[in-house]
Chain A
Amino acid sequence: MEHPDWLWRTPEPRRSYDVIIVGAGGHGLATAYYLARNHGITNVAVLEKGWLAGGNMARNTTIIRSNYLWDESAAIYEHALKLWEGLQEDLEYDFLFSQRGVLNLAHTLQDVREGTRRVNANRLNGIDGEWLTPDEVAKVCPIVDVSPDVRYPVLGGTWQPRAGIAKHDYVAWAFARKADRYGVDLIQGCEVTGFITDGDRVTGVRTNRGPIHAGRIGLAAAGHTSVLASTLGIRLPLQSHPLQALVSELLEPVHPTVVMSNHVHVYVSQAHKGELVMGAGIDSYNSYGQRGSVHVIEQQMAAALELFPIFANAHLIRTWGGIVDVTPDASPIIGRTPVENLFVNCGWGTGGFKATPGVGWVFAHTLAHGEPHALNEPFTLERFTTGALIDEHGAAAVAH
């Protein structure tokens, strides 16, 4: 594929903007794009302390799916998936979106119950999904070991055909390019160190490149959101943890789809160029170090070989860690904060990439109108007080 000749400018920050988005990851860039496209708001800056899309956007395993259990989650992820389906045309960028389907495997009777429950809920929500028997699993992905004599035999799985993968970097560049074209300033190397306030509302940010004023400010800084919010005394129910992933060398096509297993803990796909892309489990401890402990990778390799014996001779060529911000119910927080004109989009944990266009859409709406879109209305900070959680821990799927 060919990249466009022009991507983005390297502008100097202006003194003030209508909207500032903190964090030029996928979510921040998509928000900037939809602010311009859907709401005509183009006097916007996206501030990034490093290089754009260099955080979790550059570190995730690029899985896209919408087969979540709860209505609230299903609605926002399905909205995102529908956007994904037209996004390459919309952004005029071939970011290698491939609807190769996602299999979520079941290994225990309880897995089977949960998978069935989720497929039924998905279908009633208008989301494609079906239950596959072990033989059908093997037809979809012949390299999965579905034999009964492994430690945790495959008892079946859920299958979402419209799910798939995309090339994460290109997605970010595609949003950045269009946002830049609308006049949005993408400012890299600009670290937000605090906020400028007037009474109980924010009016701007302090940065390593001077103060910048704004009418509304949206935080989309993933694992760093707590640190930013804490400068205003806002406490968020987030914990930042390392999440590791890895790739193999380039290999001839062997894996046609995306396979996820909660019980054996594997999620793996094969990227377009040929490398196997695999995610590991979350490291238990809080960290901003962008690296995790190697035993997590070793466990991941063992789990992968349980399901895919053919991977034994593949090579690990690179591992890396991102920082995921995890909420108590494994669902995000998108909306208002106790401080006027300050809005957050955080707590995506391990699931942020797939939601990218959907988040951009609703967070742009939230920033444009000062109140949430119907789709992010349930994802409030208040739910932790009322108890109206959206508890995806209860769902069968690994939240990646």
Chain B
Amino acid sequence: MRLPEGGEIDRTKPLTFTLDGVEYSGFEGDTLASAMIANGVLQVAPSLYRHRPRGIFSAGIEEPNALVQVGPEPSLQATTVRLTDGLVARTLSGVGRLTPDSGQRRYDKRYTHTDVLVIGAGPAGRMAATTAAAGGARVMLVGLSYPSGNVRFRGSPQGIPPADGAAELRVLSGARAFGYYDSNYVLVAHQQTLWHVRARRVILATGAHEQPIVFENNDRPGIMLAGAVRKYITNYAVLPGRKAVVFTTNDSAYATVAALVQSGAEVTVVDSRPNPPDLAPQGVEVISGLITNTDGPERLTAVSTQDRRIECDLLAVSGGWQPAVHLFSQSRGTLRWNGQAFVPDTPAQANHVVGAANGTFDTRAALIEATEAGVEAAAAVGYPVPPPPLPAVREREITPASPVWLVPGDPRNQFVDLQRDATVADIRRAVGAGMRSPEHVKRYTTIGTGTDQGRTSNVPALGVIAAELGVTPGDLGTTTFRAPSVPVSFALMAGRDRGKLHDPIRTTPIHSWHVAHGAEFENVGHWKRPWFYPKPGEDMETAVLRECRAARTGVAMQDASTLGKIEVVGADAGEFLNRMYTNGFKKLPVGSARYGMMCKADGMVFDDGVTMRLADDRYYVTTTTGGAANVLDWFEEWSQTEWPELDVRFTSVTEQWSTIAVVGPQSRAVIGLVAPDLDVSNEAFPFMTFRETTLVNGIPARIARISFSGELAYEVNVSGWYGLAAWNAIHDEGKPYDITPYGTETMHVLRAEKGFPIVGQDTDGTVTPHDLGMSWIVSRQKDFVGKRSLRRPDTARPDRKHLVGLLPVDPAELLPEGAQMVASDAPLTPPVPMEGHVTSSYRSAVLERTFALALIKNGRHRIGETLLAPLGDRVIAATVTEPVFYDKEGARRDG
């Protein structure tokens, strides 16, 4: 029921909303829960497992019952959903529903540093923030519990200035700090923005959560936390019941009594203490005793004490207050049981806890703590302030609380966790089965694992367990608090890193040409590489055969710009490369190029590529496309951490150069046209050398005679700025020769025909250079990283898996890559001994048949043997061969 006046709602702005298909109205400033209560709707969906009627229980983030689905978003608390016009909500029995997100709201992230972060915008938090900011420190105040809008200074004690004015005081209102990580790193959810705040000091003023009391049938609609009842009356001007009983163990509920009386409700107080304080207004009956049971068809109609039955439609309960220590505990601060609650003990990071969060419930004492914390934080960050005068707040006398962990009754209906529907009977069962640790009981009963993060169940559960075991909750210790302290959506955590922004896309300067010419692309690392260029009507196989044929019989070109490129510079560059590569580079002549291979310390192949010597002290190293960053990291690590005495430096130049491979018997003719100043004869420009020249369109270029196909081939390197222009020049000059662009698939086929392995495809981190049949590249003269590993007993075995060729017996049959090979006489009942697997497999235009590369046990000594690939529905037979299938004598590379 809405009270005729009062509250902080804007009665000039009525809003309509729909709940479970029924339309209601509320006001701007309402939460969904307050608007429901205003319409007399206290009851929500039945409970999760027992299907018992339940009602709105609280007025904030501790709400266990009133879960709602709002549009696509499940499991929101009606008590924290700000009412908006046209809002459509459905009450949930503890289980939400995911639907394809039609709205696709955009979420964002912000990163900020602050001197002092104050979490909690109650009186203590505001006091701490304004104090800390007074000397010029940068202060950020994050309001924890307000669902929306500005931080409100309602009821603030006199003398606390509004926070918004201070120049260095930033206020995030309606925001929730939910994660507190190492080095004062705090995550804050603010609408659709996730704030990452790094603070030099943190002040936690996160308040406290009122605790329920465990008694029989303590879960009916109409039973609410006492503080929530008061909040509904004062903040929202709604009265949840007209005939109220207030059941309390402490003084705080008397403020609720006063508010209820003021709102015209009839009130009876049941106080657990033998001599309740004289705090109730005139005419309110105060009974010393306990509520033992409740009654009602669904909603509450009466409560029972030990000796009386009282008719009522509202029961306001206060079992004491548990400081909100979630964030403090996440920060690794330790907790201490003070006889009533767990309070902060020793901080583990640069933080202070003040006010109710520290177990200090008296307003004056809380403000003193907040002031002291503000002064100390300001001094610690270098902006000292004198202690401000304390506001005039009346000191109150407090009658000690008398906690009640369990009122005798039927344990099956004494609820400890309303959201998880767990009872005292469940706890007894766990303890009775032998469990002693609260962690076990929690897992057995699921208490405290709901979206309310156990705010109204953890401490009562510990109270009940302790009572069962005859100890205090302090003896048990509390369970660990973990982020997030309030639920946050996956989408908020993901932020913008979705869809196209999930991972960077790298493209070469020539990319637009590939797109325009219909290339299909392959993801290689972050790169988009042309895979093949189908002509209209061509499938992949036809296109690749055509591209291969062009490279073997005419001329073809590939954008090889994604190859990693590193300039290695310094007087000791050669010595350094000698230590990295299995083969030598120190004596490589300037103007020449050499293929090299690298191992990790374990002797397994890590990367490979061609290196050119540009000058005595300058090498140009190329790496695999996917391995570029790793190789640069590798070089830097060794040079900095092992051999700082070597004069050598590294610069990644992958993006600075575009590389175009021009391949095929006609490539010399094309290069001759593209680079008219260059003598392209074999004598003047031999294999594995390079020349600096100028292209026909004026572009400076470095052209190398390098071949990854066995054909006569060139690599044209130009500045990345000119990549597309160089590509176009080559394509234009190549037209008379029908120059054919090709992609990675054709490159793979061509190199496989020559038996050149691809690191990462024909190797998998368990393959040595010897295994690849490349012992020629392993220096015997010098040490290199990984060399010693090659001598280990298992690594030196002569019968390891070797890279060999496989020729299917039926030349039309293609072995699938990844096929496992077995001996021809192997029984085909599992487990079948496997001889190795197919690493690469293609149809070859030039061989006019299929062929494959494979890693086969003892393979080099099994040439000629027939192996089988059992593939479920069929078996492919193939003969083991040398891995070089084409031009074994190497006659083609010079054209």
The chain A residues found within 8 Å of chain B, CB to CB, are: 3-10, 50-52, 54, 58, 71, 75, 107-110, 112-121, 123-127, 150-152, 169, 180, 188, 248-252, 254, 273-274, 291, 293-294, 297-299, 301-306, 309-320, 328, 383, 385-389, 391, 393-394
Give Cα A339 to B798, complex, Å.
33
**Complex: chain A residue closest to B452, CB-CB:** A317
B495 touches A302 (CB 8 A): yes
Give Cα A121 to B96, complex, Å.
41
B708 to chain A, nearest CB (A): 18
- Mark B824-851 against chain A: 1 for CB-CB distance below 8 A, else 0: 0000001110100101000000000000
Which 6 A-B pairs rank lowest in CB-CB distance, beginning with the nearest?
A: A126-B830, A116-B818, A117-B818, A302-B497, A51-B437, A315-B487
- Mark B749-780 against chain A: 1 for CB-CB distance below 8 A, else 0: 00000000000110011100000000000000
With A250-B48, A394-B766 already in contact, 15 other A-B pairs whose C-beta atoms are closer than 8 Å: A5-B429, A9-B434, A58-B439, A112-B818, A116-B816, A120-B818, A125-B832, A126-B831, A302-B494, A302-B495, A302-B498, A313-B73, A313-B101, A319-B484, A387-B795
B101 touches A251 (CB 8 A): no
B433 touches A5 (CB 8 A): yes
A152 touches B523 (CB 8 A): yes
Give Cα A385 to B433, complex, Å.
48
Asked whether A6 and B433 contact (CB < 8 A) given A251-B96, A315-B489, the answer is yes
**Complex: chain A residue closest to B871, CB-CB:** A120
A317 touches B453 (CB 8 A): yes
B793 touches A310 (CB 8 A): no
Interfacial residues of chain B within 440-458, with CB under 8 A of chain A in the complex? 440, 443-444, 446, 449-451, 453
**Complex: chain A residue closest to B187, CB-CB:** A294
B499 touches A151 (CB 8 A): yes
A29 to chain B, nearest CB (A): 13
**Residues from chain A with Cβ under 8 Å of B817 in the complex:** 112-113, 116-117
A386 touches B793 (CB 8 A): yes
Please tell me if B536 contacts chain A, counting CB pairs below 8 Å: no
B495 touches A298 (CB 8 A): yes
Please tell me if B155 contacts chain A, counting CB pairs below 8 Å: no
Please tell me if B396 contacts chain A, counting CB pairs below 8 Å: no
**Residues from chain A with Cβ under 8 Å of B764 in the complex:** 114, 391, 394
**Residues from chain B with Cβ under 8 Å of A251 in the complex:** 74-75, 95-98
B794 touches A386 (CB 8 A): yes
Give Cα A386 to B795, complex, Å.
7
Please tell me if B792 contacts chain A, counting CB pairs below 8 Å: yes
A117 CB contact (under 8 Å) in B495, B522, B766, B820: B820
**Complex: chain A residue closest to B94, CB-CB:** A250
A79 to chain B, nearest CB (A): 12
Tell which of A7, A297, A315, A317 has the most Cβ of chain B within 10 Å.
A315
B600 to chain A, nearest CB (A): 10
Give Cα A302 to B498, complex, Å.
6
A110 touches B761 (CB 8 A): yes
B439 touches A294 (CB 8 A): no
Interface size on B, residues (CB 8 A): 84
A107 touches B523 (CB 8 A): yes
B440 touches A51 (CB 8 A): yes
A316 touches B75 (CB 8 A): no
A1 to chain B, nearest CB (A): 12
A47 to chain B, nearest CB (A): 15
Provide a sorted-by-A list of 21 A–B residue pairs whose CB atoms are within 8 angstroms. Answer: A4-B433, A5-B432, A6-B432, A6-B433, A50-B437, A114-B764, A123-B870, A124-B834, A151-B502, A273-B446, A293-B182, A294-B185, A301-B491, A312-B101, A313-B73, A313-B98, A319-B484, A385-B792, A387-B794, A391-B765, A394-B765
**Residues from chain A with Cβ under 8 Å of B453 in the complex:** 317-318
Give Cα A320 to B499, complex, Å.
27
A169 touches B503 (CB 8 A): no
B75 touches A249 (CB 8 A): yes
Give Cα A152 to B524, complex, Å.
10
**Residues from chain B with Cβ under 8 Å of A302 in the complex:** 493-495, 497-498, 502
Give Cα A338 to B483, complex, Å.
42
- Mark B348-381 against chain A: 1 for CB-CB distance below 8 A, else 0: 0000000000000000000000000000000000
Asked whether A317 and B871 contact (CB < 8 A) given A117-B820, A301-B493, A302-B497, the answer is no
B75 touches A305 (CB 8 A): no
**Residues from chain A with Cβ under 8 Å of B100 in the complex:** 309-310
**Residues from chain A with Cβ under 8 Å of B793 in the complex:** 386-388
A305 touches B491 (CB 8 A): yes
Please tell me if B812 contacts chain A, counting CB pairs below 8 Å: no
A388 touches B794 (CB 8 A): yes
Please tell me if B789 contacts chain A, counting CB pairs below 8 Å: yes
- Mark B599-628 against chain A: 1 for CB-CB distance below 8 A, else 0: 000110000000000000000000000000
**Complex: chain B residue closest to A247, CB-CB:** B449
Interfacial residues of chain B within 57-111, with CB under 8 A of chain A in the complex? 72-75, 94-101, 104
- Mark B2-21 against chain A: 1 for CB-CB distance below 8 A, else 0: 00000000000000000000
Asked whether A301 and B494 contact (CB < 8 A) given A116-B816, A315-B451, A385-B792, the answer is yes
Please tell me if B152 contacts chain A, counting CB pairs below 8 Å: no
B172 to chain A, nearest CB (A): 18
- Mark B490-522 against chain A: 1 for CB-CB distance below 8 A, else 0: 110111011110110100000000000000001
B495 touches A274 (CB 8 A): no
**Residues from chain A with Cβ under 8 Å of B48 in the complex:** 250
**Residues from chain B with Cβ under 8 Å of A316 in the complex:** 484, 487-490, 493
A386 touches B792 (CB 8 A): yes
**Complex: chain A residue closest to B71, CB-CB:** A313
B434 touches A311 (CB 8 A): no
B433 touches A3 (CB 8 A): yes
B499 touches A311 (CB 8 A): no
**Residues from chain A with Cβ under 8 Å of B834 in the complex:** 71, 121, 124
B792 touches A312 (CB 8 A): no
Give Cα A302 to B765, complex, Å.
29
**Residues from chain A with Cβ under 8 Å of B602 in the complex:** 328, 387, 389
Asked whether A314 and B490 contact (CB < 8 A) given A113-B761, A169-B443, the answer is yes
Please tell me if B113 contacts chain A, counting CB pairs below 8 Å: no
**Residues from chain A with Cβ under 8 Å of B487 in the complex:** 249, 315-317
Give Cα A294 to B195, complex, Å.
12
B193 to chain A, nearest CB (A): 13
**Residues from chain A with Cβ under 8 Å of B480 in the complex:** 320
**Complex: chain A residue closest to B760, CB-CB:** A110
A306 touches B437 (CB 8 A): no
**Residues from chain B with Cβ under 8 Å of A394 in the complex:** 764-766
B107 to chain A, nearest CB (A): 9
Give Cα A305 to B100, complex, Å.
12
B490 CB contact (under 8 Å) in A52, A120, A301: A301
B340 to chain A, nearest CB (A): 25
B483 touches A389 (CB 8 A): no
**Residues from chain A with Cβ under 8 Å of B497 in the complex:** 298-299, 302
B434 touches A294 (CB 8 A): no
Asked whether A313 and B74 contact (CB < 8 A) given A110-B761, A150-B499, A319-B482, the answer is yes
Give Cα A110 to B840, complex, Å.
11
**Complex: chain B residue closest to A321, CB-CB:** B482
Give Cα A309 to B102, complex, Å.
10
**Residues from chain B with Cβ under 8 Å of A125 in the complex:** 830-832
B455 to chain A, nearest CB (A): 12
B99 touches A310 (CB 8 A): yes
Give Cα A6 to B494, complex, Å.
44
**Residues from chain A with Cβ under 8 Å of B187 in the complex:** 294
Give Cα A54 to B439, complex, Å.
8
A297 touches B761 (CB 8 A): no
- Mark B168-190 against chain A: 1 for CB-CB distance below 8 A, else 0: 00000000000101100101000
Give Cα A212 to B764, complex, Å.
47
Give Cα A4 to B503, complex, Å.
49
A151 touches B494 (CB 8 A): no
**Residues from chain B with Cβ under 8 Å of A314 in the complex:** 74, 96, 98, 489-490
Give Cα A313 to B100, complex, Å.
9
Tell which of A114, A119, A299, A314 has the most Cβ of chain B within 10 Å.
A314
A311 touches B98 (CB 8 A): yes
